[in-house]
Structure 1
Amino acid sequence: MKVSTVDIKIWGIGWVLGMGHLIPQPIIKQPTFKKDTINILKNGAVADGLTLNTKSIQKSIDDCSLQGGGVVNIPTGLWLTGPIKLKSNVNLHLEANAVLLFTKDFNQYSLVQGNWEGIPAWRNQSPISGTDLQNIAITGCGIIDGNGDAWRMIKKDKLTDAEWKEKVKNGGVLSADGKTWYPSEKSIKGSQTKHPGKIESGKTAKDYEDIKDYLRPNLLVLTNCNNVLLEDFTIENSPAWTTHTLMTNNLIVRNITVKNPWNAQNSDGIDVESCKNVLIENSRFDVGDDGICIKSGRDEEGRKRGVPTENVIVRNNIVYHAHGGFVIGSEMSGGAKNIWVSDCSFIGTDIGLRFKTTRGRGGIVENIHIKNITMTNIQFDAILFDMYYMAKDPKDGQGDPTIQTYPVTDATPQFKNFDIENVVVNGAKRGIFMRGLPEMNIKNIQMKNMTIQASSGIECTEAQNISISNLTLLTSNTDTIIWIDNSSHISFNNLKYPANTKNLFSLTGPKTKAIIVSNTEKTNTNELIKFGSGVPKDAITFSK
């Protein structure tokens, strides 16, 4: 059991040079706790998998906090419980082979005012929650199981025939077309309700009772807390997001394992929303949605809150199945800045590095520093910047959205000032995809020292000041390696690509200009450049 105090100076020094200027590093203080320990057995807990231990566990937490804090010990065994609330100065410690299993009895979960995808909303009470707390921890090598299979709807085509038959046999309700399973009539009604759970003036929890089962809880939610340690445990089978930290500062997440079924809807691994001074390290994520995700609120509500996620270190993590390995967005309306990601592996994720937003979000994402990333078997894009997330997601294969130019307002999102280096990708559908807005291009992206093996190469539209150097791009499809549309001031230095390529560059769009290619072999391709209508011949130049 680790309860020592350390000051963590991330990145090795007190200041970091990023995008040409010095950025102060976060210093994160690990919480400490009194040695006093309360074992939940003292308050009558029974590890038979049948007894509901909510009162015993909660009393242990409450007593520990009232006595000035310490450790609440969950010993080896299977402990069935309803939702519990953490308290200040308490370390909830799960011994090895301790399983904290949350009941599938929905009546144990009250409707409470919370937050869902960046907007205030009524939700079922989270299995583990804490609000306005100081100096808290969950530690130990035990397991937290949210029993999420009981809450989540699921489509027939995401199960085997045997799994589907078993699901239907055990209860629940089917959609009218018989292709989706829901846990109850309340759940299916919620799926048909516009803005389900959204907090509205004059409405109370009773007004949402008829769709209660649809309002799935996030498994672990910490709101407005300070000095938090999450270490060593496994957290799995979440009803919705697995770990959600909201407006929480000085957060250390170390050596945890997050597991959800690949088909678990909305089962993000960790969502860090409007938080400051965060370290996520040496952890493993295998989930049904995004793996490690940075957020800061959605649309007008997020801009009104106006709290960015900043000073974040993500290092030495592995993400297995997930929609994205490391993700920013799409709810990033309060902004995100000063984030360092290093020495991470993404194995079999849909997308590797995923940065997504859309019109209406607003918010500025800037000063993002990424290095030493390994990816294998990426299903879609290895690196993706997409500012049309809600219109079309490229992995859906639905084509491009209609392009229009809108006025720039506070609802216009921005992606700028990223540097990405030392990336190796062994297998992806596409290497790099960048899609900005005509009124707000993606800007100031530096990528260097990358080797990417993918089916196709690079697509870049509505981007400015993009620098790519020392890139080896090995594509199985050599029809067009790099497509650039309505983008300017794009440079490639020391670009390597397959021999006998049919076409190296395809340039389209009237705004495409100032493409500079240096130290790159020009004779390995049958057609060096394809010019679209209206693109001048001097839009691209080659130099040694």
Structure 2
Amino acid sequence: MQLELITVGARFAVIEMKYAGIWRAENPWKVFVNGELKTETDHIVTYLDGLEPDTEQIVRYEPVASGGMVAAEPVEIAFTTKHESFTLNVRDFGAIGDGVHDDTQSIMAAIMAAPRDARVLVPAGDWRVKNIFLKSDITLDIAEGATIRARHDRENLAYLPVTQTATNAAKATNAATNAAEPANAPCDGYNGTGLLPLGTWEGESVVPMFCGVITGIGLENVTVCGRGAIDGGANRDEDNWWFEPKRIRIAARPHMVFLSDCDHATFAGITVRNSPSWNFHPTLCRDFTLACVTIESPKVSPNTDGFDPESCDGVRVIGTHFSVGDDCIAVKSGKISMPRSLRPACRNMIVEQCYMHDGHGSVVLGSEASGGIENLTVRDCLFERTDRGLRIKSRRGRGKDSIYRNIRFEHIRMDEVLTPFVVNSFYFCDPDGKTDYVQTREPLPVDDRTPKVESLEFRDIEALNCHAAATWITGLPESKVGKLEFHNIHVTFSPDAEPTTPAMACQVEPMVRQGIIAQNVETLVLDDVRIEGQDGDELQLTNVDRVVRQ
């Protein structure tokens, strides 16, 4: 075992025990900081706080003796915490924290007054707010015992308009709707496109969207940390967010945390719960870290995805606990109606040492992925009681840039996941989702609206107590799944398995204890794949060009 520093702030650090298991270690460890016992933990990834800024920290892990025996040697890691210029307490700006008074203005005053490298401290208390806007080069520290509690009275809340056009946009020589690269002539807006992306809702910018409880636009070097909580306050009351959730009332529902066009953002240690819709939605961000965060919403809460990065580059999700009412993680890159320049591929993403349970899908790609998804690795994760484990959603109409490539899932354990592996190229989302164009199983001409699942690799995965099928894989007949690899896979079925539908597509019936179902695949690699307890044939293949057994 060795220690790795995941991220560090002025007063906190996130440390991972490498090669010590998935989510939890077999035995607990005592954690010392500069010789002082800080905590005892069996979590693979640990959030350490209470550190001093600008200080060298020597963190030492010592195994706790079990049965009179010490199982491993102590390990150490050294690092220096970041600089902190000032601490500004929101109480000193008039915030009360009694759960009744609206503290938005006082908290925003502290944020706006904070100089570079400052810490804005939200101490223990119940802080009622409308929205909080972050700014660059600060840390928002939500202390243990603090809850930032969002209001839901729509008529008093701000919202973000749709994408705006720059005053000098006419200078752009490359039309943003047709070019993925910056304009040749100088132009303001995102990446020189003359466009300012603001509110987005499910992959489009066609209606205003209420500001996130925490919102950041065009920022850099921003951190939100602490052991406190952000509570979106959503429920099914008639005046609240989960009542008739698809109906637009003034504007679309807010996301709990919404960041657009930000560089170097970190969220660590906090808990978020009861989000009005998606919990975390960074879009067009670079270098985004989510570490040791807890994300909670009831299983029946509508569209409360845990973490939905959209067209981001460089994303790390590590040591995070998900229990939500929709997909735990859903990776996206917009719909084809978005200007091409605002839907680059979501790329270079790592999900590691996360625990996901009781959601729709554990890790999901799509379906709003018209810019593509590439270079994504999910490893060392635990999934329990989700409907699907590793799930790809696509459909005709997402476009020729919607290419899923270099996607890798490895060293994952699942239990009571209904269908562990799903690739669905007939996902019936959107108003036209059940039309013949989307759902026909006959091949259609390949055109600018045709997506492609190019390469997927699954390694060292155990899925126990499944229900519907080991895999349900279907590409488009005119655009088959390219190369699909399974290495060292073990699947068993629950003795109490009940029929369930493996994928959200027309012409798919409930099933139980089925083996490997694969349709419209170019190359299927099966290397040490063991399916136990299925009814009928282990392999049910249709229009698969090549099967490689190793």
TM (norm. structure 1) is: 0.72
Q: Which residue of 1 aligns with 2:218?
A: 132
- Give the structure 1 partner of residue 233 of structure 2: 147
Unaligned runs of 5+ in 1: 13-29, 153-166, 174-180, 197-210, 494-544
Q: What SS does structure 2 have at the residue aligned with 1:486? A: strand
Aligned to 1:377: 416
C-alpha distance in 2 between matches for 1:6 and 1:78: 26
- Report how many aligned residue pairs link the two structures: 416
Give the Cα separation in 1 of the matches to 2:127 and 2:371.
39
Work out the CA distance in 2 between the residues paired with 1:475 and 1:456. 9
After superposition, the Cα gap between the structure-2 partners of 1:433 and 1:33, relative to the gap in structure 1 and judged at 3 Å, is farther
Specify whether residues 227 and 182 from structure 1 end up closer, same or farther in structure 2 by C-alpha distance, changes over 3 A only. closer
| Alpha-carbon separation, structure 2, partners of 1:129 and 1:459 | 43
Aligned twin of 2:482: 443
Q: What is aligned with 1:46?
A: 96
Partner Cα separation in structure 1 for residue 308 and residue 295 of structure 2 = 12
Identical columns (%): 27
1:461-487 superposed Cα distances (whole Å, 9 cap, x missing partner): 11111101101101242x232211111
CA distance 1:5–1:237, change in 2 (3 Å): closer
Structure 2 Cα separation of the partners of residues 33 and 344 of structure 1? 33
Do the aligned partners of 1:91 and 1:139 also contact (CA within 8 Å) in 2? yes
Give the corresponding residue for 1:118: 203
- Name the residue aligned to 2:344: 307
Q: Does 1:3 align with 2:10?
A: yes
Question: Tell me, what secondary structure is at the counterpart of 2:298?
Answer: coil
> 1-side partners of 2:298 and 2:12: how far apart?
35
1:475 alignment counterpart: 533
Residue 100 of structure 2: SS of its match in structure 1?
coil
1:292 corresponds in structure 2 to 329
Distance 1:327 1:294, change over 3 A: same
Q: 1:103 aligns with which of 151, 167, 192?
A: 151
Give deviations 1:499-524, integer Å, cap 9, x for gaps: xxxxxxxxxxxxxxxxxxxxxxxxxx
Structure 1 residues 247 and 33: CA distance shift in structure 2, 3 A: farther
Measured against aligned partners, the alpha-carbon deviations of 1:303-323 in whole angstroms (never above 9, x if no partner) come to 453411111111000101111
Letter in 1 for 2:525: S
Distance 1:78 1:342 in 2: 37
In structure 2, relative to structure 1, the CA distance for the partners of 1:292 and 1:95 (3 Å cut) is: same
1:126 & 1:77 partners in 2: Cα distance? 21
The CA distance in 2 between the partners of 1:305 and 1:101, in whole Å, is 32
Superposed displacement of residue 401, structure 1: 4.4
**What secondary structure is seen at the aligned counterpart in 2 of 1:382?**
strand
Work out the CA distance in 1 between the residues paired with 2:360 and 2:447.
30
Displaced runs of 4+ in structure 1, greater than 4 A?
A: 4-9, 30-33
Change (3 A) 1:7 1:41: closer
1:410 maps to amino acid: D
| RMSD of equivalent CA atoms | 2.7
- Say whether the 8 Å CA contact 2:520–2:544 is kept in structure 1: yes
Matches within 5 A, 1:126-205: 126-149=212-235, 183=243, 191=247
Deviations 1:15-39 (A, max 9, x none): xxxxxxxxxxxxxxx9955341100
Residue 316 of structure 1: aligned partner: 353
Q: Which of 365, 373, 378 is the aligned partner of 1:328? A: 365
What is aligned with 2:122?
A: 74
Q: Which ranges of structure 2 fall in alignment gaps of 5 or more residues?
A: 1-7, 20-79, 162-198, 494-512
Residue 279 of structure 1: how far off its partner (Å) = 0.9
Counterparts of 1:74 and 1:352, CA distance in 2: 37
Q: 1:69 to 1:411 in 2, by over 3 A?
A: same
User: Residue 142 and residue 7 in structure 1: after superposition, are their counterparts in 2 closer, same or farther (change >3 A)?
Assistant: closer
SS of alignment partner, residue 51 of structure 1: strand
Q: Is the 8 A contact 1:445 1:465 kept in 2?
A: yes
- Give the 3 Å change call, closer, same or farther, for CA 6–413 of structure 1 in structure 2: farther
Q: 1:361 aligns with which of 398, 409, 414?
A: 398
- Give the match for residue 496 of structure 1: none
1:357 to partner: Cα distance: 0.5
1:6, CA displacement in angstroms? 9.8
Would the aligned equivalents of 2:230 and 2:271 in 1 still touch at CA under 8 Å? yes
Deviations 1:307-346 (A, max 9, x none): 1111111100010111111111001111111111100011
Determine if the alignment matches structure 1 residue 410 to structure 2 residue 448.
yes
Residue in 1 aligned with 2:315? 278
Deviation at 1:446, TM superposition (A): 1.2
- Quick one: structure 1 residues 89 and 324, their matched pair in 2 at CA, closer, same or farther if it must change by over 3 Å? same
Q: How does 1:345-360 map to 2 (within 5 A)?
A: 345-360=382-397
TM-score normalised by L of structure 2: 0.72
